[in-house]
């Protein structure tokens, strides 16, 4: 048994949030042999009587969550993002369709997951869960925003999927700014009048760095942490689409179906504006360090800056 | 008592055949194979009240083989959860009687089925919740025999025993026919009782159309420690001669002439 790693990755925020939520007796935690990875292990250590071990059996875990939810519990179930996809139909038919409220967390999302290789690098999770009616889909950017948004799920009336990242990323919020976050509302981290970048997860920090870089060239960029992919913050998109010349979307996820797609789908019929989508270009990853993977996938500060210049 | 229940079952069989005929679609075979057990369950075990159908202490019935919804709707009518008018709307737009049982639509239904293999897991969630809260309600789950071909069933069988869920009861409707053909033609499942037993469950095999045996087995399941499974050997289409053991009536409505004959046999 390896010890759980210390703070700094968004998955650590999930683990911390579960402990915060434990004061509510209705909260139960479900694991499929990856609690040390998704960080539900901390809840297990404190509240074993409210932690349900299901073994390596994700489909069963999803429907056990549904059964618990039907009896008044608030289940939080986690596994790797990629393995949650195995139980997609269970989430669709067993949880969302009957209108049950259970919360799923997929850790180790995206190519940022790194050395485990392509089998572990979910690049389609946000896309698939987004298609389920009534489902909330989130991908927070750092540990403390993950903690805050996960805590808000306690009073959330819809089932949810939250993707977290395996590896550490810089903190983008502090104790005060994080309290302003709200599920379904994009968070503006930087304001500029020329271009708006919408990003989620591990790429938000890179979007900020790209904005700093081209600010020196006289291009001013708004950067939005779009931690909630569904429901999408239409109000914010409407406002920005009137203010700026174009959008750039940035995500460690397939360009098919994720944040970039969600925004494009909306603005194309509402207030057409150029959208350049940066994401994984319809291909699988491989083993490597996080930064190496992001580089070969083209998820770089330079490419974000270049896309802004293009607009 | 047994005689009364047999009468109720016959009444339910008529409701089943009638509602499927009216809808022009549905699954008579698996509804007729399951109905004796369902009547036995609702008449001797289930603590439910149509005027307090969301009572958190009520017993749960998870109908995992959700295509046999007419069997559930027929007993819910007998128990005053549904009306004849509700049954007449079966499979029609806006009806509370959806094609497959659905907790979101129907008063008295505890699970949304339609995709096989999920109900036992859901039942585990209910049983775990009762255990955590020190509640005494029981959770009864019915699956089909073909349904055991789904891998999730075995995930759930393993988990129920691991979590020592004595308040969880499984009924397997062993009618030997699935959608396309006989079970042993599609995918042989063999000695299902021994297989479930090897996962740590107590198992009893019964004749699923013998009301006295059904009642005894349900009592046995409730009184026995640890998860219990009843493998009920049944006849698909039971009670209507031309539907019996006939794969073509898995998911086909009777025509007018067939309805007339069926009602004659069930009178």
* The predicted structure's pLDDT at residue A56: 98
B90-107 pLDDT, tens digit each: 999 999 999 999 999 999
Query: CA-CA distances (angstroms) from residue A134 to A91, A129, A159, A262, B156?
Result: 11, 10, 7, 15, 27
* The predicted structure's pLDDT at residue B37: 98
Longest dimension (CA), chain A: 58
Mean pLDDT of A222-232: 98
List the one residue out of B229, B239, B238, B266 whose CA is nearest residue B177.
Answer: B238
DSSP chain A: -PPPP-S-SHHHHHHHHHHHHTTSTTEEEEESS-HHHHTTHHHHHH-GGGEEE--S-HHHHHHHHHHHHHTT-EEEEEEEHHHHGGGHHIIIIIIITTT---EEEEESBSGGG-TT-GGG-BSSHHHHHHTSTT-EEE--SSHHHHHHHHHHGGG--S-EEEE--SS-------TTGGGG-BTTB-EEEE--SSEEEEE-TTHHHHHHHHHHHHHTTT--EEEEE--EEES--HHHHHHHHHHSSEEEEEEEEETTTSHHHHHHHHHHHHS--EEEEEEE-S----SS-HHHHHHHTT--HHHHHHHHHH-
Domain hosting B240: range is: 2-265
On the question of pLDDT at A155 being above 60, the answer is yes
Q: Is A252 exposed, middle or buried (0-12, 13-18, 19+ CB in 10 A)?
A: buried
Q: Is A201 an 8 Å CB contact of chain B?
A: no
pLDDT band at A171 (very low <50, low <70, confident <90, very high): very high
Contact B152 A70 (CB under 8 A): no
Query: Into how many domains does chain B fold?
Result: 1
> Which domains, from first to last, does chain A contain?
10-163 (3.40.50.970), 182-310 (3.40.50.920)
For the annotated catalytic residues of A, the residue numbers are 58
B94-98 long-range contacts, CB within 8 A, separation 24+:
B97/B19, B97/B69, B97/B73, B98/B69
Whether residue A306 is preceded by a cis peptide bond, meaning omega within 30 degrees of 0, is: no
Mean pLDDT of A118-139: 97
Q: Is A62 an 8 Å CB contact of chain B?
A: yes
Which residue is closest to A49 within chain B, CA to CA? B132
Q: How far, in Å, CA of B80 to CA of B155, rounded? A: 36
A288-298 pLDDT, tens digit each: 999 999 999 99
pLDDT band at A1 (very low <50, low <70, confident <90, very high): very low
| HEC assignment per residue over A96-158 | HCCCCCCEEEEECECHHHCCCCHHHCECCHHHHHHCCCCCEEECCCCHHHHHHHHHHHHHCCC
- Among A65-69, A235-239, A266-270, B95-99, the minimum mean pLDDT is found in A266-270
pLDDT band at A271 (very low <50, low <70, confident <90, very high): confident
On the question of pLDDT at A3 being above 60, the answer is no
* The predicted structure's pLDDT at residue B100: 97
* The predicted structure's pLDDT at residue A2: 37
Measured in angstroms, the CA of A176 and the nearest CA of chain B are apart by: 37
CB contacts of B119 in chain A (<8 Å) are 63
Which residue is closest to A98 within chain B, CA to CA? B104
The ranges of chain B with pLDDT < 50 are: none
Interface test mutation site (partner B, options A31, A53, A57, A64, max chain B beta carbons within 10 A): A64
What CATH number is attached to the domain comprising B10? 3.40.50.970
- The residues in B 96-135 lying below 8 A from A, measured between CB atoms, are 102-104, 110-112, 114-115, 117-119, 121-130, 132-133
Asked whether the ipTM of the predicted complex exceeds the cut of 0.90, the reply is yes
On the question of pLDDT at A7 being above 90, the answer is no
Mean pLDDT of A201-213: 97
């Amino acid at each position: 048994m390896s010890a759980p790693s210390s703070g700094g990755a968004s998955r650590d925020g999930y683990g911390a949030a579960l402990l915060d939520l434990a004061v509510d007796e209705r909260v139960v935690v479900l694991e499929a042999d990856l609690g040390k990875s998704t960080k539900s292990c901390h809840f297990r250590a404190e509240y074993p009587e409210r932690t349900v071990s299901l073994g390596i059996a994700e489909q069963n875990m999803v429907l056990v969550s549904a059964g618990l939810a039907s009896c008044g519990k608030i289940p939080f179930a986690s596994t790797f993002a990629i393995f949650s996809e195995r139980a997609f139909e269970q989430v669709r038919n067993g949880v969302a369709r009957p209108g049950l409220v259970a919360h799923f967390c997929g850790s180790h999302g995206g190519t940022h997951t790194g050395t485990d290789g392509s089998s572990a690098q979910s690049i389609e999770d946000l896309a698939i869960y987004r298609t389920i009616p009534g489902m909330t889909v989130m991908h927070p950017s750092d540990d403390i925003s993950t903690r805050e948004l996960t805590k808000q799920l306690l009073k959330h009336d819809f089932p949810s999927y939250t993707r977290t990242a395996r590896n550490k990323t810089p903190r983008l919020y502090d104790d005060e700014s994080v309290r302003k976050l709200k599920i379904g509302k994009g968070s503006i981290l930087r304001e500029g009048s020329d271009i708006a970048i919408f990003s989620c997860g591990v790429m938000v920090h890179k979007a900020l760095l790209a904005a700093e870089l081209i600010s020196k060239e006289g291009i001013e960029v708004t950067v939005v942490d779009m931690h909630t992919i569904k429901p999408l913050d239409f109000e914010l998109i409407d406002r920005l689409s009137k203010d700026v010349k174009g959008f750039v979307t940035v995500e460690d996820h397939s360009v098919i179906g994720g944040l970039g797609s969600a925004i494009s789908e909306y603005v194309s019929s509402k207030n057409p504006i150029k959208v350049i989508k940066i994401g994984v270009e319809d291909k699988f990853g491989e083993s490597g360090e996080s930064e190496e993977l992001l580089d070969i996938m083209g998820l770089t500060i330079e490419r974000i800056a270049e896309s802004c210049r293009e607009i | 008592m047994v005689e009364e229940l047999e009468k109720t079952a016959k009444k339910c069989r008529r409701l089943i055949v009638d509602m499927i005929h009216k809808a022009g679609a549905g699954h008579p075979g698996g509804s007729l194979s399951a109905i004796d057990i369902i009547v036995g369950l609702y008449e001797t075990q289930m603590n439910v009240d149509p005027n307090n159908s969301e009572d958190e202490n009520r017993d749960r019935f998870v109908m995992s083989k959700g295509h046999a919804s007419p069997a559930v709707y027929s007993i819910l009518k007998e128990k005053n959860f549904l009306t004849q008018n509700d049954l007449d709307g079966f499979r029609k737009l806006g009806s509370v009687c959806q094609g497959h049982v659905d907790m979101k639509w129907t008063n008295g239904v505890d699970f949304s089925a339609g995709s096989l293999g999920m109900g036992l897991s859901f039942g585990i969630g209910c049983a775990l919740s009762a255990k955590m809260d020190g509640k005494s309600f029981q959770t009864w789950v019915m699956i089909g025999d073909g349904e055991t071909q789904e891998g999730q069933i075995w995930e759930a069988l393993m988990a129920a025993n691991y979590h020592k869920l004595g308040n969880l009861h499984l009924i397997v409707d062993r009618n030997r026919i699935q959608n396309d053909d006989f079970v042993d033609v599609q995918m042989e499942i063999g000695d299902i009782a021994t297989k479930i037993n090897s996962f740590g469950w107590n198992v009893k095999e019964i004749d699923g159309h013998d009301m006295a045996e059904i009642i005894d087995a349900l009592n046995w399941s409730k009184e026995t420690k640890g998860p219990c499974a009843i493998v009920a050997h049944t006849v698909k289409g039971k009670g209507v001669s031309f539907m019996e053991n006939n794969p073509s009536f898995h998911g086909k409505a009777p025509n007018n002439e067939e309805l007339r004959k069926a009602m004659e046999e069930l009178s």
